[in-house]
Amino acid sequence: MEDALAVRRVDRLGMVLVAGGLLAAASMPFIIVKANRIAAGKPQLLTQLLAQPVALALLILLVATALAALFLRNQLVRLGIATLAIALLIITLGLVSTAATPAGSTVARITPGGSFWVLLAVIGLVISDALVKLQLTPWLRVASLALYAAILGVILKSGLLDNLSIMKEYANNADKFWNEALGHVFLSLGSVAIAIVLALPLGIFCYWQPRLRAVVLRGLSLVQTIPSLALFGILMLPLGYIATHVPFAAAIGIQGIGTAPALVALVIYSLLPIVANTVVGLAGVDPSVRDAAAGMGLTRRQILTGIDLPLAFPVILTGIRIVLVQAIGLVTVAALIGGGGFGLFIFQGIGQTANDLVLLGAVPTVFLAFSSAVILDAVIDSIRGQSA
């Protein structure tokens, strides 16, 4: 009986995370040392790096984090230990990569191994679990995101990670990186902004006209079934025709390849979630509130703008959140048709068998999508909290 109670006292999520972290640390390399960019690498486990004091300190802190994840109920202390662990994990990666780089070598590459990424994910989940259990207010969640981004920014600014291969790829492509970053943000936010302008009235119209609602939603659902790359290809033909036969269209940048088909495809993909959530949000408004407003003499337009849309806004914003995260991911595929963005590095890396170039495109894409989701979730929860 006592044994059974003891097992129940152990955090079940913590058990899964600790098991995953242990398995990764024991079987997967912490770093991979390569003589050059495309050479086969020499993997090194974390246990093979324990001669370095920082690696030993990391191991001790990882054990403390595992015990905290399993047994500690004080979420604030748990969060503090995990935050120290994730900071030391990244610092350790930088210091061991510096130690592993041959003196004077400009072609050697040190890549983070599988155990680094798994440990990063495991500690990140321990932090997320602690933040959820602390039940932070929406804007404290955004402040937490800013704090962890600031910690990462300080480590990057210090130069500790400069010997990592991903940072060498960044140094070689710094100007191009920021140009593509701007292009990625422009395509993501621009497509979502255009989709909002188109989908919001369409959603209101669908709500007012139930007979057309099913037709419109089915049509948009059908578009969602088309693979993104196929849709990009389909749009190349009509846009190329328009660019050839309409000089004004070509003058403003519409072409068969490039940003134009990418933007059009992203807008089309973004319509369904916003239209559907607008319909659901408006349908969720209490009819008695509308009746009361009509009884006070408000017109249909006044009821829509003053009652319906404000009450439906959190649901509509949830659709916009889905669309924004989806768009940030899809822009990477647009690089295949000349749309630019971080996908350019991903596909160049795949073509050159350079995994670090792939990471240079993938890591900021994930960070952008994650940050957008956290911020919009906070906005939605904040609005719901005010209206509750």
Residue 4: inside a domain, yes or no?
Answer: no
* Inter-residue contact 237 to 256 (CB < 8 Å): yes
Q: How many residues does the chain have?
A: 388
Considering 119, 138, 161, which residue would you say is the last residue of a domain? 161
User: Does residue 120 sit in the same domain as residue 183?
Assistant: no
- The predicted pLDDT at position 78 comes to 92
Q: What CATH number is associated with residue 337?
A: 1.10.3720.10
pLDDT digits over 286-302, tens only?
A: 888 888 888 888 888 88
- The per-residue pLDDT for range 318-349, each reduced to its tens digit, is 999 999 999 999 999 888 888 889 999 999 98
Last residue of a domain, one of 126, 161, 196: 161
Task: Give residues with Cβ within 8 angstroms of 99, minimum separation 6.
Answer: 52
Same domain for 115 and 219, yes or no, is no
In the prediction, which pLDDT does 387 show? 59
Q: Are residues 220 and 107 in the same domain?
A: no
Task: Please check whether residue 3 lies inside any domain of the structure.
Answer: no
Q: Say yes or no: 313 and 220 in one domain.
A: yes
Question: Is 177 a member of any domain?
Answer: yes
**Of 342, 365, 329, 315, nearest to 191 (Cα)?**
329
Q: Does 147 lie in the same domain as 178?
A: no
More confident residue, 168 or 247: 168
195 and 155 together in one domain: no
Q: Do 215 and 359 reside in the same domain of the chain?
A: yes
The verdict on residue 7 lying in a domain is no
Question: What pLDDT was estimated at residue 5?
Answer: 46
Residue type, 13: L
Using 50, 70 and 90 to split pLDDT, how confident is the model at 6? very low
Token duo for residue 317: 């914003």
**What would the pLDDT profile of 79-98 be if each residue is shown by its tens digit?**
999 999 999 999 999 999 98
- Find, among 103, 117, 112, 114, the residue nearest to 166 by Cα: 112
CB < 8 Å & 24+ apart, contacts of 221-225: 221/272, 223/268, 223/269, 223/271, 223/272, 224/269, 224/272
Q: Considering the chain, what is the average pLDDT of its residues? A: 88
Give dist(CA 78, CA 132) in Å, integer.
12
pLDDT in tens, 202-228: 999 999 888 888 899 899 898 888 888
pLDDT at 77: 93
184 shares a domain with 150: no
In angstroms, rounded to a whole number, what is the distance separating the alpha carbons of residues 119 and 18? 9
* Region 188-195 average pLDDT: 94
Domain that holds residue 214: 172-384
CA distance 141 to 322: 19
Which pLDDT belongs to residue 386? 64
Q: In this predicted model, what pLDDT tens digit does every residue of 25-55 receive, in sequence order?
A: 999 999 998 887 777 788 999 999 999 999 9
Domain count within the chain: 2
- 208 and 134, same structural domain? no
Decide if 96 is inside a domain.
yes
Do 34 and 129 belong together in one domain?
yes
Q: How far is CA 311 from the centre of its chain?
A: 28
Residue 205 lies in a domain: yes
Domain-ending residue, one of 108, 134, 161: 161
Residues 317 and 350 in one domain: yes
Mean pLDDT over 183-189 rounds to 93
Residues 146 and 221 in one domain: no
